[in-house]
Amino acid sequence: MEKKSTEQLQEVASQVRRDILRMVHQVQSGHPGASLGCTEFFTALYFDQLKHDSDFKMEGKNEDLFFLSNGHISPVWYSVLSRSGYFPIEEMSTFRKLNSRLQGHPATEEDLPGIRIASGSLGQGLSVAIGAAQAKKIDGDDRMVYVLMGDGEQEEGQIWEAAMYAAHWKVDNLIATIDLNRQQIDGPTKEIMDLIDLRAKYESFGWTVIDTENGNDMKSVIEGLEKAKSLAGKGKPVLNLLHTEMGFGVDFMVGTHKWHGIAPNDQQLADALAQLSETLGDY
Amino acid sequence: MEKTLDLKFNYTDKKDTRSGFGDGLLEAGRKNPNVVGLCADLIGSLKMGAFQKEFPERFFQTGIAEANMMGIAAGLSISGKIPFTGTFANFSTGRVYDQIRQSIAYSDKNVKICASHAGLTLGEDGATHQILEDLGMMKMLPHMTVINPCDYNQTKAATMAIAEHEGPVYLRFGRPVWPIFTPADQKFEIGKAWKMIDGKDVTIFATGHLVWEAVIAEAMLREEGISAEVINIHTIKPLDTEAILDSVAKTGCAVSAEEHQYNGGLGDSIAQTLIRNNPAPLEYVGVDDSFGESGTPTQLLEKYGLNAANIVAAAKRALARK
Ligand SMILES: Cc1ncc(C[n+]2csc(CCOP(=O)(O)OP(=O)(O)O)c2C)c(N)n1
Ligand SMILES: [Mg+2]
C-alpha cells in the first residue's frame, strides 16, 4: 500500500466517522462516543503505522498486531478493518444484528477477519497483548504489538497486574495506548474514580510514557505513534497517553459521557452526517 | 399469538426488572438505615440513581473495579451494614468469583450481590455480556441464596425481602422491558415456590423472564387439551423441593425453563431432586452448551429455543415419556 498523505488519512477518518454513526444508528445500539474520539488513532494505525495483512492470519507472524481492550468501541474497529480490506464494507450493515460476524463486542466465534481475541469485559486486553508480545520475542519476530485501552478501564485491578508484569519481563515490543477522554459511563473519570496521574503511575511501574496531546489531530497522532516506536526496544514497555475528546467530529456529541453508549435518532444522524463528508462512499 | 390466547395471567404494563430492583432498593434504604449501595460505573443501567440521590452518604461509586467492590462490601458488612452491590451479571459473578467465594460466601457475610443484564435478553451487546452460567456458579457456593425473579413487581418485592434476610444473596434480573403480570403488593417469601397455575398433565417449572413464556405456554397447551401446572421458581437456592415433588407426584412429568445453560441451572437442580426422590421425565428449556450473540431479545429467545413454543414442545416430549 502506498503511503497516504495526512489529508488523505483525514479523508479516511471522515468516512470512518460516517460508518460509526450509521452502524450505531441503524441498530439503535452501540457505542459512538469513544469510537468517534479514537477515529484518528485507528485510521493512523491501519492506514499508516501497522505492518499488517488484510488476508488475515490468526498467528500474524512478522506482522504488527493490534488488540482492542475496550471492546465496546467496536464500530471504529469494524470500520477501519473493512475499509482496509479485511471484509466487505457491506457487512457493516449487519452490525449487532442476529447472525452477524460483527458482534456488539469483538469476537472470534464466527472468525471475523482482523479479530484475534474477544473483548468487552474490560481490563483484560493488556495482559493478552503482553502475552502476544512475549510470543513474538520467543519467535525472534521483531514486529510490534499494539493495544488500546480506555481511561476508565484503568480502574480495573488486572491492568496493574499486567503493568507490573510487562515492566518486570521487559516487554519492550509493546506500545499500549490509553484513550484519555476523561469520561466513562457514569460521568467524568475525575468524579467517578479519580485516576489522578496516569503518567506517574505507569512510570513508577517501570514504563516509558509519552503524551499525544492532540489525539484528534492526524499529524499529532502519527507523530505520537512514531515517537512511541522509537522508544521501543529499550528494555521498557511504552505507554502512549492519547488525549482525545469523546464524540469528536460531531459538534453535539463532543466532550461528554452522554454519548458513551447511545445511538443517534434519525434527525441527530442527519445533523451529524452533515458535518462529515462522504469521502470513500457509504457502505 | 399471545393476544388470541386465554392467558391465566395478564398485564397492563411492561417494565424492566432492573427498575424493580432500583425501586425496591430505594424502599429498603428508607426502611433500614443499614442498607448501603455500591456500584461499579453502571448506576444508570442498574437504576441505582434514586438511592444514590436520597442516601449519598450510604452510596459508594467504586469505578470499574468489581473485585474491589466485592471486598469493600464484605468489609462494610462486618459492622452490620447491609451492602447491595450493583453491576452486570457477568461482572457480578464470573469476574469476581473468588472474591465472592472467600470474602462473602465462605465468610458468610450479609452482602447482596445484585446483578442486571443477565441472560440472552440483554440483546445487542452480545455474548461477552450475556452470562448464562451465573446461576450455576452462584448456587454451587455454600451459604449462598440465589434468586431470579420474573417481572418488575416480583423483583421489587425480592429486593426488599433480601434486605431483611441475613446472609449472602445473589439476586439476578435483566434489561428488557417485560410484562408485569404478578401483583404489586405480593409478599416475597425466599425459598417458597409459587404455584401460579394448577394443572394435572405436566408441570412447568420456570424462573426469571421465562415465567412469562411459561404462562403463554400453559394457554397454548390448554388449547390442545393438555393441562399444565405452572410453578414460579423465583428462588433457585434453597430450592423448594417439597413443592417440586408434590407437583410431579401429581403430573408425572416436568419441564424446566430458564435463561441459562442447561449445565448447572434450574433444570439440573430439579433433576437432582427428582432423581433422588421420584425419577420422572424432565425436559430442559435453556441454552444447550453455547454462548449467545447479538440480536434482539425476541430473536435470541427464538434462536436459542427459549420461548413459549419451545416450552410447549418440551412439555409434549415430557408427556410422551411418561
Ligand atoms: C469488567 C467490566 N465492567 C463494566 C463494564 C461496563 N462498561 C462498559 S464501557 C464502561 C466504561 C468504560 O470507560 P472507559 O474505559 O473510559 O471507556 P469510554 O467510556 O471512554 O469509552 C463500562 C463501565 C464492562 N464492559 N466490563
Ligand atoms: Mg474514557
Q: Sorting pLDDT into bands at 50, 70 and 90, what band is A1?
A: low
A98/B95 CB distance under 8 A: no
A-chain residues near B86 (CB < 8 A): none
Touching A: B residues 169-198, CB under 8 Å: none
pLDDT cut 90: percent of chain B above it? 98
CA–CA dist B293, B127 (Å, integer): 5
Query: In chain B, where does DSSP find H-type helix?
Result: 17-31, 43-46, 49-54, 66-78, 89-92, 97-99, 134-139, 152-163, 210-223, 241-251, 266-277, 297-303, 308-320
Distance of CA B214 to the CA centre of its chain: 14
For B87-131, write each residue's pLDDT tens digit.
Answer: 999 999 999 999 999 999 999 999 999 999 999 999 999 999 999
A residues 109-138 closer than 8 Å to B (CB): 109, 118-123
pLDDT exceeds 70 at position A236: yes
Return the ligand 1 atom nearest residue B87 CA.
Answer: 4
Q: Which atom of ligand 1 is least distant from the CA of B41? A: 23
Helical axes B308-320 vs B210-223, angle rounded to 10°: 60
Measured CA to CA, the distance from residue B109 to residue B100 in angstroms comes to 10
pLDDT digits (tens, 9 = 90+) for B196-250: 999 999 999 999 999 999 999 999 999 999 999 999 999 999 999 999 999 999 9
Q: Per-residue pLDDT averaged across B281-302, rounded?
A: 98
**What is the whole-number distance in angstroms between the Cα of residue B44 and the centre of ligand 1?**
13
* pLDDT attached to residue B4: 86
Instruction: State the ipTM, two decimals.
Output: 0.95
Q: Is A70 in CB contact (< 8 Å) with chain B?
A: no
- Mean pLDDT of all residues in A50-71: 98
The pLDDT tens digits for A149-192 are: 999 999 999 999 999 999 999 999 999 999 999 999 999 999 99
Calpha distance A109→A118 (Å, rounded): 8
Active-site choice (B66, B133, B218, B283): B66
Q: What local confidence, expressed as pLDDT, does residue B3 receive? A: 58
Q: At what angle do helices A6-27 and A266-273 cross, to 10 degrees?
A: 170
Q: What's the CA gap between B292 and B304, in Å, rounded?
A: 8
Q: How far apart are the first and last CA of chain B?
A: 29
Domain residue ranges of chain A, discontinuous segments joined by +: 6-273
The beta-carbon neighbor of B64 closest among A96, A105, A153 is A153
CB nearest to A192's CB, from B61, B123, B296: B61
Q: B97 CA distance to ligand 2 centroid (A)?
A: 26
Residues in A closer than 8 angstroms to B45, CB to CB, are 185
Q: What percent of chain A has pLDDT over 70?
A: 100
A233 to chain B, closest Cα gap in Å: 32
Nearest CA to A224 among A216, A212, A234? A212
Could you give all domains of chain B from N- to C-terminal order, each with its CATH number?
14-179 (3.40.50.970), 194-320 (3.40.50.920)
Q: What is chain A's mean pLDDT, rounded?
A: 98
Which residues of chain B does A151 touch, with a Cβ-Cβ cutoff of 8 Å? Answer: none
Q: Is the CB of A34 under 6 A from ligand 1?
A: yes
State the distance from the centre of ligand 2 to the C-alpha of A247, rounded, in angstroms.
Answer: 11
pLDDT, tens digit (0-9, with 9 covering 90-100), for B169-189: 999 999 999 999 999 999 999
Q: Are A260 and A246 in contact (CB under 8 A)?
A: yes
The whole-angstrom distance between B317's CA and the closest CA on chain A is 28
Contact residues for A266 (Cβ-Cβ < 8 A; gap 6+): A25
- Looking at the partner chain, which of A27, A103, A120 has a beta carbon nearest the beta carbon of B293? A103
- Report which of A89, A84, A116 is spatially closest to residue A19, judged by C-alpha positions: A89
C-beta separation of B223 from B318 below 8 A: no
Q: How far apart are CA B297 and CA B300, in angstroms?
A: 5
Atom of ligand 1 at shortest distance to CA of A33? 21
Residues 6+ apart with CB under 8 A from A70: A34, A119, A122, A125, A148, A149, A150, A153, A179
Residue A152 CA, ligand 1 centroid: distance in Å:
6
Kindly identify the ligand whose nearest atom is closest to the C-alpha of A72: 1
Residue numbers in B near A100 (CB within 8 A): 293-294
Residue type, B269: S
- Residue B57 is a catalytic residue: no
Q: Which chain A residues have a beta carbon less than 8 Å from that of B64?
A: 122-123, 152-153, 155-156, 184, 193
d(CA A34, CA B63): 18
Is any atom of ligand 1 closer than 6 Å to the C-beta of A183? Answer: yes
Can you give the pTM of this predicted structure? 0.97
Strand order through the sheet with B145-147: B59-61, B35-39, B82-88, B112-116, B169-172, B145-147, B235-237
| Nearest one of A276, A282, A281, A283 to A10, comparing CA atoms | A276
Q: Among 1.10.10.10, 3.40.50.970, 3.40.50.1860, 3.40.50.300, what is the CATH number of A6-273?
A: 3.40.50.970
The pLDDT tens digits for A244-265 are: 999 999 999 999 999 999 999 9
d(CA B176, CA B154): 15
pLDDT at B57 over 90: yes
The stretch A60-82 carries a mean pLDDT of 98
Residue listed under C-alpha cell 457505542 = A31
Cell 468469583 locates to B97
Query: In b/e form, how buried is each residue of A16-41, taking b as 16+ CB within 10 angstroms?
Result: bbbbbbbbbbbbebbbbbbbbbbbbb
Q: Any chain B CB within 8 A of the CB of A139?
A: no
Q: Does A198 touch chain B (CB under 8 A)?
A: no
Question: Bridge partners of B23?
Answer: none
pLDDT tens-place string over residues A115-128: 999 999 999 999 99
